[in-house]
Amino acid sequence: MPTLTTIFCETRPHTQEPAEWTGEARFLLDPPGDLLGALHAAHLHDLGHPDDLSVQVSAEALFEDGEITGRTVLSAADLATLTAHLPEAHHARVLAWAAFAYALEGQGNDARFVIWFVE
Delimit the domains of the chain by residue range.
4-118
3-state secondary structure of 66: coil
- Residues 6 or more apart in contact with residue 119 via CB below 8 angstroms: 1, 2, 3, 66, 67, 69
DSSP summary character for residue 119: -
pLDDT band (50, 70, 90) for residue 105: very high
At 99, which amino acid appears? A
Question: Is residue 71 within 8 Å of residue 115, measured between CB atoms?
Answer: yes
What is the reported pTM? 0.93
- Is the predicted pLDDT of residue 1 greater than 80, yes or no? no
- Is the predicted pLDDT of residue 16 greater than 90, yes or no? no
pLDDT in tens, 33-88: 999 999 999 999 999 999 999 999 999 888 888 889 999 999 999 999 999 999 99
* CATH of region 4-118, choose from 3.30.70, 3.40.1620, 3.40.225, 2.60.120: 3.30.70
C-alpha dist (Å) from residue 94 to 23, 51, 53, 59, 78: 18, 25, 22, 25, 11
Which has the higher per-residue pLDDT, 102 or 1?
102
Query: Helical H runs in 4-118?
Result: 32-41, 55-62, 76-83, 91-106
Question: Is residue 97 within 8 Å of residue 83, measured between CB atoms?
Answer: no
